Amino acid sequence: MKQMDELKPMPRKRKPNHTGAFLTGIIGVIIGALLVWILTPTDKLPQNNSVLNSDKQPSQQEQVNFDIHTDITDIVDQVANTVVGVTNLQTVRDIWSSDEMTRETGTGSGVIYKKENGKAYIVSNHHVVEDAEMLEITFDDGTKTEGRLVGSDMWTDLAVIEIDDESVENVAAFGDSDLLKRGETVIAIGNPLGLGFSGSVTVGVVSGKDRSIPIDFNHDGRVDWHADVLQTDAAINPGNSGGALINLAGELIGINSMKISQETVEGIGLAIPINLAAPIIDKLERYGEVLRPTMGVTLIDLSSIPAQQQIVLNLPNDVKEGVVVNEIMPNSPADVAGVKRYDVVVEMDGEKITDMITLRKHLYNEKEVGDTMTMKVYREGKLVEINMTLEDGTTF
CATH of the domain at 336: 2.30.42.10
Q: Which of 327, 329, 324 is nearest to 309 (CA)?
A: 324
Report yes or no on 62 lying in a domain: no
Beta carbons of 129 and 88 less than 8 angstroms apart: yes
Three-state SS at 107: strand
What whole-number distance in Å separates Cα of residue 111 and Cα of residue 271?
13
Q: What is the pLDDT along the chain (396 residues), one digit of tens a residue?
A: 444 444 444 454 444 555 555 556 566 656 666 655 555 555 544 554 444 444 555 556 666 666 677 889 999 999 999 999 999 999 887 767 677 778 888 889 999 999 999 999 999 999 999 999 999 999 998 899 999 999 999 989 999 999 999 989 899 999 999 999 999 999 999 987 666 677 789 999 999 998 888 888 877 877 777 788 999 999 887 788 899 999 999 999 999 987 555 544 567 889 999 999 999 999 999 999 998 899 999 999 999 899 888 989 999 999 999 999 999 999 999 999 999 999 999 999 999 999 988 998 899 888 999 999 999 999 999 999 999 999 987 667
Q: Which of 393, 359, 384, 387 is nearest to 373 (CA)?
A: 387
Determine which one of 109, 124, 126, 127 is catalytic.
127
What whole-number distance in Å separates Cα of residue 52 and Cα of residue 40?
19
Long-range CB contacts for residues 100-104, cutoff 8 Å, separation at least 24: 102/133, 102/134
Q: Say which residues have a Cβ less than 8 Å from residue 147's Cβ, sequence separation at least 6.
A: 86, 122, 135, 136, 137, 161, 162, 163
Report yes or no on 59 lying in a domain: no
What whole-number distance in Å separates Cα of residue 84 and Cα of residue 270?
19
- Parallel, antiparallel or unpaired: strands 83-93 and 134-138: antiparallel
Q: Is 275 exposed, middle or buried (0-12, 13-18, 19+ CB in 10 A)?
A: middle
Q: Say which residues have a Cβ less than 8 Å from residue 299's Cβ, sequence separation at least 6.
A: 323, 324, 325, 326, 345, 356, 359, 396
220: annotated active-site residue: no
Q: Which pTM was predicted?
A: 0.72
CATH of the domain at 228: 2.40.10.10
Beta carbons of 345 and 322 less than 8 angstroms apart: yes
219: annotated active-site residue: no
Amino acid code (one letter) for 25: G
Q: Say which residues have a Cβ less than 8 Å from residue 304's Cβ, sequence separation at least 6.
A: none
Determine which one of 109, 124, 177, 241 is catalytic.
241
State whether 152 and 199 are in the same domain: no
Determine which one of 153, 157, 165, 233 is catalytic.
157
Write down the pLDDT at residue 16: 52
**Residue where a domain terminates, one of 234, 263, 287:** 287
241: annotated active-site residue: yes
Q: What is the pLDDT of residues 80-129, one digit of tens each?
A: 999 999 999 998 877 676 777 788 888 899 999 999 999 999 999 999 99
**Residue where a domain terminates, one of 133, 164, 195:** 164
Q: Which of 350, 375, 211 is nearest to 293 (CA)?
A: 375
**Domain range for residue 269?**
177-287
